[in-house]
Amino acid sequence: MAIELLYFASVREAIGRSAESVSPPSEVISIADLVAWLASRGGGYAEAFAEPSRIRAAIGDRFAEPDQPISGAREIALFPPVTGG
Amino acid sequence: MSASLCIDVRTEDFDAGAELARLEALGGGGVASFTGVVRGGNGLVALELEHHPAMTLNMMTRIAEDACARWPLLGVTAIHRHGRLAPGERIVLVAAVSPHRAAALEATAFLIDWLKTRAPFWKKEHFDDGSSRWVEARKEDDDAAARWERR
pLDDT tens per residue across span A26-69: 999 999 999 999 999 999 999 999 999 999 999 999 999 999 99
**Region B41-65 average pLDDT:** 97
Q: In what order do the strands lie in the sheet with B132-134?
A: B83-85, B44-51, B121-127, B132-134
Whether B92 shows a pLDDT value over 60: the answer reads yes
For residue B34, which of B76, B87, B83, B84 has the smallest C-alpha distance?
B76
**Cβ separation of B122 and A77 shorter than 8 Å?**
no
Q: Which residue of B has its CA nearest to A56?
A: B120
Cβ neighbours around A60 below 10 Å, total: 13
CA B6 – CA B64 distance, rounded (Å)? 9
Lowest mean pLDDT among A46-50, B47-51, B137-141: B137-141
Q: Is the ipTM of this complex over 0.85?
A: yes
Residue A39 DSSP code: H
**Cβ separation of B134 and A10 shorter than 8 Å?**
yes
Host H or E run for residue A3:
strand A3-7
Q: Which residue of B has its CA nearest to A63?
A: B118
pLDDT of residue B150: 76
B52 interaction partners in chain A (CB closer than 8 Å): 6, 8, 58, 77, 79
How close, in Å, is residue B82 to chain A by CA atoms? 9
Which string of DSSP letters, residue by residue, matches chain B? -PPEEEEEEESS---HHHHHHHHHTTT-SEEEEEEEE----TTEEEEEEEE-HHHHHHHHHHHHHHHHHHS--SEEEEEEE-EEE-TT-EEEEEEEEESSHHHHHHHHHHHHHHHHHHS-EEEEEEETTS-EEEPPP-HHHHHHHHTTS--
**Cβ separation of A10 and B121 shorter than 8 Å?**
no
Per-domain residue ranges of chain B: 4-144
Could you say which of B54, B58, B119 has the minimum Cβ distance to residue A84?
Answer: B119
The answer to whether residue B104 neighbours chain A at the CB level (below 8 Å) is no
Contacts of B136 (CB under 8 A, 6+ apart): A81, A83
CA B89 – CA B101 distance, rounded (Å)? 28
Q: Which CATH architecture has domain B4-144?
A: Alpha-Beta Complex (3.90)
Strand, coil or helix: what is A70? Answer: coil
| CATH 3.30.530.20 correct for A3-79 | no
Q: Please write the tens of the pLDDT for every residue from B114-132.
A: 999 999 999 999 999 999 9
- Torsion sign over Cα B97, B100, B102, B103: negative
Strand, coil or helix: what is A27? Answer: coil
pLDDT of residue B19: 98
Question: A10 φ, ψ to 5°?
Answer: -65, -30
pLDDT of residue B151: 55
pLDDT of residue A44: 98
pLDDT of residue B1: 56
